[in-house]
Amino acid sequence: MLYRIKTKDQTVELSAVQIIDTLIGKTIQESRTDLETLGNLTTELLQAKEALSTMSAKQIMSLGLAIGFYYSRFLRLNDVTVVEESDASENSSNSSAE
């Protein structure tokens, strides 16, 4: 599969392999606790539903890409602030002390 990307200045063609390789590289470079948390929760939910053991590696990767797409869309379309759990506990402690 080939992707044609048009910018104001040029048109670039990338293969699916080039895109996935770039995305993997970017993901490995960037450590995000929100993604780790959501990934762990997804695994736990799939295990609890006994779905993980019946899924192929391709199905798991497809699910991960789809979840990533919708998560990115959710973040882009809404005013979302990711609050670390330690920050959330401190905020609730501070507000209850007032």
Residues 7-37: pLDDT tens digits? 999 999 999 999 999 999 998 898 888 999 9
**If you count them, how many residues does the chain have?**
98
Global pTM reads 0.70
Residues 67 and 86 placed together within one structural domain of the fold: yes
CA 11, CA 4: separation in Å to the nearest integer? Answer: 7
Average pLDDT, the chain: 87
Residues 94 and 72 placed together within one structural domain of the fold: yes
pLDDT at 93 over 60: no
Residues 37 and 12 placed together within one structural domain of the fold: no
Residues 39 and 19 placed together within one structural domain of the fold: no
Here the tokens at position 76 are: 């882009």
Residues 9 and 53 placed together within one structural domain of the fold: no
The Cα angle at residue 47 between residues 46 and 52, in degrees rounded to 5: 65
Model pLDDT, residue 8: 93
